[in-house]
Structure 1
Amino acid sequence: TSDAVTLTVSVKRKPELTSSPQGAALMGNPVTLYCKLEQSAGWKFYWSKHTQNPENETNTATHSYTISAVKPSDGGQYWCRAGRGNPVYYTHYSDALWVNITGVSSIVSLIIIPNRTQHFSGHSLSLICKDQRNSTTWRVMQYSHDRSVSDCPSDRGSVTSSTCNISSLSTAHTGVYWCQSKSGGSSKPVNITVHDGDVILDSPVHSVTEGDSLTLRCLLNKTPSNLIAYFYKDGSLFQNQTTGQITIHAISKSDEGLYYCEYPERRESPQSWVSVRGEKSMS
């Protein structure tokens, strides 16, 4: 008879990412992210922003990561994962956590044309600071994947203090954009994703008011579609439609989450966060 062999099967773990405070963070205040993992001894923790890119991860020896004074550029999607051993064994990435920054100026807003969060590589984009006082003292700022803050990379000759025009987008334009004044005032930040694939999700740039309707469209680059589009929320199938779009009537807080779509023959779009704010106050 042969010797008995013990086979151990381990399930790849997936941490839970949370934040303190939860929900919106006030500009200038600290925010701490927590990467929760059972039996966390011996692990290092890795933090990603905007995309799950190992090359741009920040690592910590503990399961927490603190931003001491949040800025508009700190808003956006975050993920975490843990690793240990040599060679390093990594857990799955956590689900995405969205950090919203508040306490920004209400007199200025950033207008995006076309008005959506996702855009095809090679297409054009305009970003405009709209000030209720018709002031032109605002500049469009960008926080990019290389963790640098700079003026929006506008085409030469088409930049003003409050407008940024990009005639041919690339994935390097993916990032957080906002309006900023010399005095330090800021608009609410906007996340822009540039995708070099065939499919993007047309979703709103700004929060949707509770009770309003929301239409999401699954867009194909160059080729018109009569295919079935599949829409997902938080990783689960939400709806499928031959029209390539879905409408959520009387949206509520429970509809808030990460959405993406796919045409099975053409792959899937990136994910975008749909934010829902409270009902409009009666006047």
Structure 2
Amino acid sequence: MWGRVGGGAVYQLWRASVTHTGQYWCRAGRGQPVFYIQYSQAVSVNVIELFTSVTLSASPSTVVKEGGAFNLTCEAQLSNCKLSQHHGNHSLHSHPDPDCNWTTVIVTFSFLRDGWPVARDSVSGMYSVAKASSCHMGTYSCVARAGRARRSSQEISITLDNLSLILVTCFGTFLILSVAPLAFFVRLYAMRLWQLRGRGQGELQCNECSTIQGPK
């Protein structure tokens, strides 16, 4: 943005980014057509990244029991600053450090699961699930923002502890494999017993008929 101060001019960058890094010159001109004087000496402007790192961590683990709780914490590290969080004014303040470039920076965090946001503009840097289920499983990441500056974390996968499901499945399979042969033999025995009983009754009826009729 251009502005005038006395006999000079001001060029101001709002919300500087890394792309603004470089050398800058100026020159003045007057008259019509304009007559320009020589360029000034160069001034080097180095715009460094606000965030040096953004990390995402899970507690108590990335493997969660069904119905259990888990927390995701997003932490941002600013250039040359060690940060501590103050929930009262929702900002991150740097510790007294002569090498720190930032005094007060407001940082917000967003959390994503499989690329879709599940929490936006969190100032606490934490996303919590009280009772985990299969719908909470997936690949998570977080994004730290301060003004137009932003940086994404690495991705972590949250999976469901299905050990109990495996045990139940294995136990059920074991029961099926154990009971099926037994049921087959029981059925076979019942059919054999039914056949023997039917044969015995037939012989008894034949004997009775022979006795009643007798020789003529």
What range is the shorter-chain TM-score in?
Answer: 0.3 to 0.5
Over alpha carbons, which structure has the higher Rg?
A: 2
More strand by share: 1
Larger RCO, structure (CA 8 Å, separation 6 or more): 2
For normalisation by structure 2, the TM-score amounts to: 0.35
